[in-house]
């Protein structure tokens, strides 16, 4: 399978390139970047045959079977729809869009074209969260509360690699999206109650730097989520699952119980890398002609919940 990666030279584009290199029968034949000079040099360094600044150029190529979009959020809707209309299955990094209307439009076009589209909700695939999901599915565990902290120090416009960013990230539509989708995925329910509060906007970035979000399902499970771009360490997202039979703490691809005893995840999946696992699901779904876990249809309810929260926070 021949893949185009758009945004290949960015922090997550490179994560996808590294992951794809571990999957048999997959090659990256085209990359899309911001400037001709930088993306051409990047492609040459990586041994990739085609580089361009225009996604349409890659979509027109016969040696591109599917596309991974690791581009700025504000480009996701237009680019995802372009891939679908070109007949190319697409994996778009989280979030698929930064508003509900665009998310619904992506789903509409996906259904209209019948081409597979997947959103990069990697928390569904991290072995730590897969372990908990398997326990729930087997009837051995029920969530009472998820307590989640998403903390970064980003008072300047930088990406996960610490480099200057050409676009502005968003705590709600990107980082809260991870947890809202995961909570709905793990409980199998849509929240019946939600609330949200946000702090003042950054004077230059124009985004809220601190948020508090709460969710409650019809069965009574709750989720409390704290997010900040003002936190000066430790950085990342930390999940505490408080369940009826056990407590688990997930830190990316690692899992411990409430007593900080490590949980063996070696038999959960073929890899301990969430990005590799989501790419494997994308490739497998394309090859098998099936709907993937984390399809845009499956992830739309999370976007609807985010819209509800945003309306509460902004009063609109």
Indicate whether 259 and 144 sit together in one domain: yes
Indicate whether 134 and 90 sit together in one domain: no
DSSP state of 175: I
Give the mean pLDDT of 172-188.
97
Residue 6 scores a pLDDT above 80: yes
Supply the CATH number for residue 69's domain: 3.40.50.720
Residue 315 zone, left/alpha/beta (φ > 0; ψ -120 to 50; rest): left
Phi, psi dihedrals of residue 154, rounded to the nearest 5°: -135, 60
Indicate whether 92 and 102 sit together in one domain: yes
Q: What is the pLDDT of residue 165?
A: 61
Residue 253 scores a pLDDT above 90: no
User: What token pair was written down for 68?
Assistant: 């991974």
Percent of the chain with pLDDT over 70: 96
Indicate whether 260 and 185 sit together in one domain: yes
Q: Which domain holds residue 283?
A: 2-122+275-293
Name beta bridge partners: 120.
Answer: 93
- Mean pLDDT rounded to a whole number for the chain: 95
Indicate whether 100 and 175 sit together in one domain: no
Indicate whether 27 and 70 sit together in one domain: yes
Cα distance between residue 209 and residue 91, in whole Å: 28
pLDDT digits (tens, 9 = 90+) for 79-97: 999 999 999 999 999 999 9
Indicate whether 150 and 257 sit together in one domain: yes
Q: What is the pLDDT of residue 158?
A: 66
Residue 207 banded pLDDT, cuts 50, 70, 90: confident
Cα distance between residue 272 and residue 209, in whole Å: 31
User: What token pair was written down for 187?
Assistant: 């409980």
Q: What is the pLDDT of residue 205?
A: 81
Give the mean pLDDT of 134-140.
97
Question: Please, what is the end-to-end C-alpha distance for the chain in angstroms?
Answer: 45
Q: What is the pLDDT of residue 159?
A: 60
User: What token pair was written down for 115?
Assistant: 């081409």
Indicate whether 76 and 149 sit together in one domain: no
Give the mean pLDDT of 166-194.
93
Cα distance between residue 214 and residue 194, in whole Å: 6
Give the mean pLDDT of 73-80.
97
Give the mean pLDDT of 121-131.
97
Q: What is the pLDDT of residue 154?
A: 75
Indicate whether 265 and 281 sit together in one domain: no
User: What token pair was written down for 29?
Assistant: 């034949």
C-alpha torsion angle, residues 86, 296, 111, 8 (rounded to 10): 0
**Which residues have C-beta within 8 Å of that of residue 184, sequence separation ≥ 6?**
190, 191, 301, 302, 305
User: What token pair was written down for 202?
Assistant: 């950054």
Supply the CATH number for residue 234's domain: 3.30.360.10
Domain count, the chain: 2
**Is the distance from CB of 17 to CB of 43 less than 8 angstroms?**
no
Residue 177 scores a pLDDT above 80: yes
Indicate whether 131 and 245 sit together in one domain: yes
Phi, psi dihedrals of residue 281, rounded to the nearest 5°: -65, -40
What is the Cα Rg of the chain in Å? 19
Cα distance between residue 151 and residue 154, in whole Å: 9
Indicate whether 137 and 44 sit together in one domain: no
Cα distance between residue 95 and residue 177, in whole Å: 7
Q: What is the pLDDT of residue 156?
A: 73
Indicate whether 103 and 142 sit together in one domain: no
């Amino acid at each position: 399978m021949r893949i185009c990666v758009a945004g290949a030279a960015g922090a997550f584009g490179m994560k996808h390139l590294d992951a794809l290199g571990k999957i048999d029968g997959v090659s990256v034949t085209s990359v899309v970047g911001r400037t001709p000079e930088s993306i051409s040099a990047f492609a040459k360094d990586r041994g990739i045959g085609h580089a361009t600044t225009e996604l349409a150029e890659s979509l027109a190529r016969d040696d591109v079977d599917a596309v991974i979009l690791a581009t700025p959020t504000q480009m996701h809707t237009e680019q995802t729809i372009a891939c679908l209309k070109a007949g190319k299955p697409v994996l778009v990094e989280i979030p698929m869009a930064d508003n509900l209307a665009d998310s619904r439009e992506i789903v509409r076009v996906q259904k209209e074209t019948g081409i597979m589209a997947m959103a990069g909700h990697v928390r569904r695939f991290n072995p730590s969260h897969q372990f908990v999901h398997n326990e729930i599915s087997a009837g051995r565990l029920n969530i009472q509360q998820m307590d989640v902290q998403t903390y970064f120090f980003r008072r300047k416009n930088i990406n996960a690699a610490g480099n200057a960013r050409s676009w502005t990230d968003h705590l709600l539509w990107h980082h809260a999206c991870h947890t809202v989708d995961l909570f709905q995925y793990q409980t199998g329910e849509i929240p019946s109650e939600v609330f949200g509060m946000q702090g003042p906007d950054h004077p230059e970035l124009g985004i809220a730097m601190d948020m508090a979000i709460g969710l409650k399902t019809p069965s009574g499970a709750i989720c409390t989520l704290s997010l900040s771009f003002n936190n000066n360490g430790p950085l990342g997202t930390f999940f505490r699952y408080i369940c009826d039979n056990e407590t688990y703490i997930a830190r990316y691809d690692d899992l411990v119980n409430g007593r900080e005893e490590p949980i063996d995840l070696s038999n959960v999946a073929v890899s301990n890398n969430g990005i590799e696992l989501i790419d494997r699901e994308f490739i497998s779904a394309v090859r098998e002609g099936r709907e993937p876990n984390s399809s845009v249809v499956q992830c739309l309810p999370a976007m609807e919940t985010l819209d509800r929260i945003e309306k509460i926070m902004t009063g609109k």
